[in-house]
Amino acid sequence: MLVHRLLIISFIVLPAFTVSCAQAQQHHSNTEVITPTWAPLTLQMQEPSPKEDKPEAIEKENDSLKRPVGKLSGRRICLDPGHDSIHVPGAAAHDQSGRVLFNEHELTHLVASRLRALLEAEGAQVCVTRNEAGDLHIAPYDFNGNGSTRLPEDMAERTQPRIDFMSQFGAELILSIHFNGFHNPALSGAEVYYSDTGPYQHENRRFSESVLYSLTKKMQDSGYSPVVRGVHSDNYKTEYRAYTWAYGFDRGCTECTRLLTLGNNPMSKNRGDWKVGALAEVLFLTNPQDVRFLQGADAMDIITDGLAQGILAYFEAE
């Protein structure tokens, strides 16, 4: 028979003291002074009671209840911020003196980073084809056999890493983010491209329409009314015909004029292994009105919110 002993421990009242602590989740520090008054404390030490085992199923159920469940829970989404500083910088916005205001590859990376956070907050698993430094996760590689990835005909090799990364992630939906540019500064507005081929072409179009509507609606609500240029087939890149020979095709290859990023161009080494995709051209960096909007302090948040709403609306309508 075990004999339990009670151990009485008395604590002496300590002098009052102050504690300064930074308030959590604020951008600045607030100091709180705490002056505790301690009375003598008595602890009773005794043998702990045996731990009651919980069935494993109950433990798992309790764990699942703790996890936040968002509108995109279980979805796998990839974001492709167009261009990069090394291989294809993209368009740029300039002021009247010629000074660069925005580079496309920087804007797309900024939007993708913010959009990723919004989608993850809704429970999605999200990949981005460029890392935090803005570089591609997978470097371009030679597969047309010319020993280079930097020549004009190597455009498929410079895009292939994006396709590979998104396919390896197991994305069910991908969104490529771009800003437009043209030699005629009168052209402006937003448009979205999709692949009108394959078993998911109707879903591609529906997703494109959802993104365009939500993006332009968000801008309109903010006070800027962009030109809504519509949704279009990705089969329009006629300049690719000059390089079909490098991939074993002739100039008459009708599918070789599809946007490479959306994964349905036969010049790619590997096709895109996802269900739905679209490429958004947010605004024109060569149009003064579009650029003026982009210079607003909240422009990136408006664009990011619009793209996020387009993705949410697409899934909610399934």
Distance CA 167, CA 40 (A): 65
Q: Per-residue confidence of the chain (318 residues) as pLDDT tens digits? A: 444 433 333 333 333 333 333 333 334 333 333 333 334 433 343 444 444 454 544 444 454 444 557 999 999 999 999 999 999 999 999 999 999 999 999 999 999 999 999 999 999 999 999 999 999 999 999 999 999 999 999 999 999 999 999 999 999 999 999 999 999 999 999 999 999 999 999 999 999 999 999 999 999 999 999 999 999 999 999 999 999 999 999 999 999 999 999 999 999 999 999 999 999 999 999 999 999 999 999 999 999 999 999 999 999 998
At residue 318, the pLDDT reads 86
Distance CA 282, CA 62 (A): 43
At residue 287, the pLDDT reads 98
Contact (Cβ atoms closer than 8 angstroms) between residue 76 and residue 169: yes
Residue with the two structure tokens 């045996």 = 50
Q: Which CATH architecture has domain 76-316?
A: 3-Layer(aba) Sandwich (3.40)
Q: Which two tokens stand for residue 216?
A: 């332009």
For the entire predicted model, the pTM comes to 0.79
At residue 32, the pLDDT reads 37
Q: In terms of Cα–Cα distance, which of 178, 40, 193, 45 is closest to 108?
A: 178
Domain map (residue ranges) of the chain? 76-316
Q: By CB neighbour count within 10 A (0-12 exposed, 13-18 middle, 19+ buried), where does 242 fall? A: exposed
- Phi, psi of 38, deg, nearest 5: -105, 130
